[in-house]
Structure 1
Amino acid sequence: MECNKFYTITEVSKITNVNSVTLRAWQRRYGLINPKRNPKGHRVYDQSDINIIHQILNWLDKGVPIRKVKPLLLSDETLNHDVSNSNEDFTEVSTIIDLLLSMNRRKIQSYLNEVLKNYPYHIFYNQIFKKIQHKLKSGIIPNQEFLYDLFVNISVDIFKSIISSLNKQNTESVLIISFNYDYLHIYHDALTLANQGYYIDFLVCANANNLTLKAYLNANKITKVYCSHNVTLNQKQKNFISNLDNPGILLKKEDMMMGGNE
Structure 2
Amino acid sequence: MKKYAIREISELTGVKPVTLRAWQRRYNLIEPERTEKGHRLYTQKHIDLINDIQGWLGKGVSIGKVKALLESGKQAESEVSANMAHLDDVEPVLDALASLNKGKAETLIHSVLKEYPLNVVETQFIQPVEQALGLVRQNLRSLQFGLFQTLMLTKLNAIIEAENKAARSGKALFISVQGSVDVPSRIMALSLVEKGCKVTIIDEVEDLSGLLGHPCLEEFSTLAIYSARAINESQMAAIQQLETMISGELILPELLQRLKR
Q: Same fold (TM over 0.5)?
A: yes
Q: Kindly state the Cα deviation for residue 249 of structure 1 after the two structures are TM-superposed.
A: 3.8
Q: Kindly state the Cα deviation for residue 235 of structure 1 after the two structures are TM-superposed.
A: 1.8
Question: Equivalent residue of 1:91, what SS?
Answer: coil
Q: Kindly state the Cα deviation for residue 251 of structure 1 after the two structures are TM-superposed.
A: 2.5
Instruction: Say which of 58, 61, 79 aligns to 1:61.
Output: 58
State which drifts further: 208-217 or 113-122. 208-217
Q: 1:59 to 1:111 in 2, by over 3 A?
A: same
Q: Kindly state the Cα deviation for residue 58 of structure 1 after the two structures are TM-superposed.
A: 1.1
State which drifts further: 196-205 or 29-38. 196-205
Q: Which amino acid aligns with 1:246?
A: I
Instruction: Say which of 209, 217, 225 aligns to 2:223.
Output: 225
Question: Equivalent residue of 1:227, what SS?
Answer: strand
Q: List runs of 5+ in structure 2 lacking aligned partners.
A: 255-261
Q: 1:88 to 1:182 in 2, by over 3 A?
A: closer
Counterparts of 1:1-262 in structure 2, within 5 Å, are 4-77=1-74, 81=78, 83-84=80-81, 87=84, 90-139=87-136, 143-171=140-168, 172-184=170-182, 185-203=184-202, 204-210=204-210, 214-218=214-218, 221-244=219-242, 245-253=245-253
Q: Which amino acid aligns with 1:248?
A: G
Q: How far, CA to CA, are the matches of 2:174 and 2:76 in structure 1?
A: 36
Q: How far, CA to CA, are the matches of 1:250 and 1:85 in structure 2?
A: 34
* Residues 175-219 of structure 1 deviation map (CA, whole Å, 9 limit, x = unaligned): 11232322113212111211221211122321342466623425x
Is the 8 Å Cα contact of residues 86 and 124 (structure 2) preserved in structure 1? no
Q: How far, CA to CA, are the matches of 1:67 and 1:89 in structure 2?
A: 14
Is the 8 Å Cα contact of residues 65 and 89 (structure 1) preserved in structure 2? no
- Quote the sequence identity (%): 32
Divergent runs of 4+, >4 A:
210-213
State which drifts further: 185-194 or 54-63. 185-194
Q: Kindly state the Cα deviation for residue 118 of structure 1 after the two structures are TM-superposed.
A: 0.4
Q: How far, CA to CA, are the matches of 2:246 and 2:102 in structure 1?
A: 44
Q: 1:34 to 1:55 in 2, by over 3 A?
A: same
Q: Which amino acid aligns with 2:134?
A: K
Q: How far, CA to CA, are the matches of 2:111 and 2:151 in structure 1?
A: 14
* Residues 101-129 of structure 1 deviation map (CA, whole Å, 9 limit, x = unaligned): 23122332222112211001221111111
TM-score normalised by L of structure 2: 0.86
State which drifts further: 80-89 or 59-68. 80-89
Q: Kindly state the Cα deviation for residue 145 of structure 1 after the two structures are TM-superposed.
A: 2.0
Is the 8 Å Cα contact of residues 8 and 45 (structure 1) preserved in structure 2? yes
Q: How far, CA to CA, are the matches of 2:172 and 2:128 in structure 1?
A: 29
